[in-house]
Amino acid sequence: MTAALEIDQVSHNFGAVQALKDVSLTVPQGGFTALLGVNGAGKTTLFSLITRLYNNRSGVIRVAGHDLRRQPSQALARLGVVFQSRAMDADLTIRQNLIYHASLHGIPGRLARPRIDEVLAQVDLADRADARITALSGGQSRRAEIARALIHRPELLLLDEATVGLDVKSRAEVLALTRRLIADHGVSALWATHIMDEIAPDDDLVILHRGQVLRHGPAAQIAGPDGLTRAFLDMTGVAA
């Protein structure tokens, strides 16, 4: 079966600074892969390469089997992205934003409207469809971003620190929602985070540090007997 995402030997530099070095990882179809790393580990750079915001000059990135460099349209059509910061237009309502985003994927209004009702129900925002983005709470805003990322029915969701800035309750809701989408709809997800609590023992876990993959495997196995936090600190040498 084709993986939802394959990253093979990808490196990236910003001038003399090496942000990523020979990164390789795979997100299986219908799987939840957590990408754990401290701030500055290279998570956002990696996401920018996968979404083609940056040019990938070395290595290969494939989304559902489509090479991002050779078939960018096919690859991007299969991606849903939740960025670290807000990406929706604050001047518009949730519905207007979703119609706009659907159109950016070639989905006309008559097909988009029922989909909008569907995804807003999935993220529990059906009653806020006509609210402006500025009127939403932090948690609602994140859920609206997830709805936006789902509107074109992507095969892979990329979530770049999707819970950043949220309170504990909203964080748990957004994480539970993502896990539910995977279980119910077969979407795959790459979840970038620096918060250990968001990783479950049976998650597929990638530890990224200073632009390199240190470990990739089941979270429980990486955590070992002392727990994930201890294992992470030992691996990275980051002070507790």
- Min dist. Cβ of residue 85 to another protein (A): 5
Helix and strand numbers (H, E) in the chain are: 8, 10
- Min dist. Cβ of residue 221 to another protein (A): 33
Nearer Cβ to another protein (52/179): 52
The residue behind tokens 């691996």 is: 235
Nearer Cβ to another protein (166/223): 166
- Min dist. Cβ of residue 192 to another protein (A): 15
Cβ proximity of 142 and 163 under 8 Å: yes
d(CA 125, CA 144): 7
Q: For the sheet containing 5-14, what is the strand order?
A: 17-27, 5-14, 58-63, 66-67
d(CA 25, CA 60): 11
d(CA 105, CA 171): 28
Nearer Cβ to another protein (149/205): 149
- Min dist. Cβ of residue 199 to another protein (A): 26
- Min dist. Cβ of residue 70 to another protein (A): 12
What separation in angstroms does the CA of 217 have from each of 131, 214, 220? Answer: 41, 10, 9
Nearer Cβ to another protein (49/213): 49
Nearer Cβ to another protein (158/223): 158
- Min dist. Cβ of residue 133 to another protein (A): 10
First to last CA, the chain: 40
Chain positions contacting another protein, by CB under 8 A: 14-15, 17, 48, 51-55, 72-74, 76-79, 81, 83, 85-92, 96, 99-108, 148, 152-153, 155
State residue 51 phi and psi, 5-degree precision. -90, 0
State residue 122 phi and psi, 5-degree precision. -60, -35
- Min dist. Cβ of residue 108 to another protein (A): 5
What separation in angstroms does the CA of 236 have from each of 109, 197, 224? Answer: 49, 18, 15
Tokens, residue 223:
């955590």
Nearer Cβ to another protein (153/194): 153
Nearer Cβ to another protein (51/232): 51
